[in-house]
Amino acid sequence: MSESRMNFQEFVDKVKEAIQDALPESFRDAQVSVEPFRKLNTSYLGLQVKREGQTVVPNINLDAHFREYQETGKPFADVLTAIAEQVQLAPPMETEWLKDYSQVKEKLFIRVSDAKENEAFLRMAPHKEVDGLAISYHIAFEGLHGVEASTPVTYKMIEMLGVTEEQLHADALESTQRLYPVQYTSMAEVMNKMMGIDADMDPDMMPATEGPQLMVLTNMQGIHGAATLFYPGQLEAIAQQMGSDFFVLPSSVHETLILPDDGTVEPDSLQFMVREINQSTVAPEDRLSDFVYHYDAKDHVLEKAETFALRMAQKEQEAEKAAAEAEQKGPEQMEPEQKDSERKDPSPERKDAGKDDRKPERDSDSRRDKGKEKTSVLARLNDKKEKLKAQPKKDVPGRKQEAAIG
């Protein structure tokens, strides 16, 4: 006869009551507690089994174990055994060094998350925000492979260490680059590796790619690699290599996808694709953002694509207003420097004013080149919005490929 299934609260109470009996004799005097635990992108009820002398105790995710208990139909005894094994596997950690900032700063690293989704966590932790993305600070316990064995830096901690947020940020950027170096490669290369295609293979034998080159930005470990966006000089280096502005697709907290803004890609289509993949493919704890970002190489600004479009629209309005005001001014209203300049070096229009009142035809090619960099995205966004009002969204080419690597 199968055992009756417990609800979550019954499950938690039973684990708390029975865990010490499932552990070795050395845990008989351990303190058992259950309390909420919050980290980036997730929160859960954590089980702590603390022995005498322990200062750092791992949190065992009871929510995850309960889901396994419910979804697999395993007996409670089997789940309890798994929890007990997890408690015993937790390595002892020396923590005295956490009181010495000269040691702590060598193991600092940054992580990036959605600021709105992590409001509760960020209230207790120093961080910086960039248009909806939050940069937080963490301490690795096991060197190069210690990203998962880590603890967040809190306001209480930096007060104890006597360090400012500015110094923390600078030190974390420096150590993160050393601990987790950048890996920047093409999507084609990533897919080739997944399909077992040798990098030295004849290029003619490799699968053909269409459209702008899609790049993958992460770190060498492939864990929390979205933080590489904020390594000093990283965005500028990508823009210089591409020779243009570019879009950032937040694939997950582990990597981002980089696509040049060459005028052939619709930002709304990218937005639709990112949100669809987040919902269908990316685990909630790995999601970075539902928004597509844009890097403005001229102004050195990383922002949401929609923020960029609004900023460009405002610039255009300001330019039109300034031009209209200048046109309304007569010679007497001009600044003295402007009058002198026109007398000394009259423009072709003013030289020929007596011959023909018509304004000379503008150099359309130069104007188009001059305006292309900052108006292409805005124009395409506006056109797309008008089209979307009249017809439903179409499937995005390449969506299945993106989902496959999400």
- Evaluate if residue 146 carries a pLDDT over 90: no
Non-local (6+) Cβ contacts of 103 within 8 A are 97
Prediction pTM value: 0.71
Phi, psi of 146 (to 5 degrees): -105, 20
Residue-wise pLDDT tens digits, 257-301: 999 998 888 889 999 999 999 999 999 999 999 999 999 999 999
- Let me know: does 110 contact 131? Beta carbons within 8 Å: no
Which candidate, 270, 265, 262, places its Cα nearest to that of 290?
270
Mean pLDDT value across residues 383-399: 45
User: 48-88: per-residue pLDDT in tens?
Assistant: 998 887 777 778 999 999 999 999 999 999 999 999 998 88
| DSSP designation for 355 | T
Domain ranges for the chain: 8-89, 96-179, 185-307+396-405, 314-390
Contacts of 222 (CB under 8 A, 6+ apart): 183, 254, 255
- DSSP class of 318: H
| pLDDT, tens digit, 9 for 90 and up, residues 218-258 | 999 999 999 999 999 999 999 999 999 999 999 999 999 99
Helix axis angle, 267-280 relative to 364-390, nearest 10°? Answer: 40
Q: What percent of the chain has pLDDT over 70?
A: 72
Query: Between 355 and 170, whose confidence is greater?
Result: 170
Q: Name the range with the highest mean pLDDT among 190-194, 293-297, 328-332, 371-375.
A: 293-297
Taking only the tens place, the pLDDT of each residue in 11-42 is 999 999 999 999 999 898 999 999 998 888 88
DSSP 6: P
Supply the pLDDT for residue 394.
42
Does residue 123 or residue 329 have the better pLDDT?
123
The pLDDT of residue 359 is 40
Per this entry, what is the length of the chain?
Answer: 406
Closest CA to 59 of 98, 20, 87: 87
Q: Which residue has tokens 């259950």?
A: 34
Give the pLDDT band of residue 176 (cuts 50, 70, 90).
Answer: very high
- Higher pLDDT pick, 390 / 62: 62
Among candidate residues 168, 161, 133, 150, the one with its CA nearest the CA of residue 39: 150
